[in-house]
Amino acid sequence: MARNFTLLLLLFMTFSAAVRSQDRLEKNDMGNVKFVKFYPNPATTFIIIELQKTIDKSCSFQIFNFSGKKIVDMQVIGRARIDLTSFSRGIYIIQLKDRNGKTIEAGKFQIEK
């Protein structure tokens, strides 16, 4: 559990979600096109997750709460709307993973209630 928390804390500090609802492809700090866009951030009752590029269907995205518990694990689709009404207020980590479990992209979002 401590290892998961340390990993999530490192991801939280390392990755920043570029969260804007524009129709153009967003880029990360290194100028590479991001794979995932999620908004609104901060969120209250739902969050929309959109894939910006074509991704292998075997990829999945996962959402973790800040204590390291996996809350969502879904196969990748073009766009998903996730209901957050049962989620607690706080910071959450989102990861896009390939079929081998390697993290392709990660970010964070906040839930305010």
Quote the domain boundaries for residue 91: 2-111
Give the chain's radius of gyration (CA, Å).
Answer: 13
The whole-angstrom separation of Cα 35 and Cα 80 is 14
The whole-angstrom separation of Cα 31 and Cα 42 is 24
- 63-113 tens-digit pLDDT: 999 999 999 999 878 889 999 999 999 999 999 998 899 999 999 999 998
Q: Assign residue 40 the CATH number of its domain.
A: 2.60.40.10
Q: Which residue has tokens 């292998």?
A: 56
**Displacement of CA 70 from its chain's centroid (Å):** 12
> In total, how many domains does the chain have?
1
What per-residue confidence (pLDDT) applies to 11? Answer: 47
Q: Which of 106, 37, 45 is nearest to 78 (CA)?
A: 37
Q: Whole-structure pTM over 0.85, yes or no?
A: no
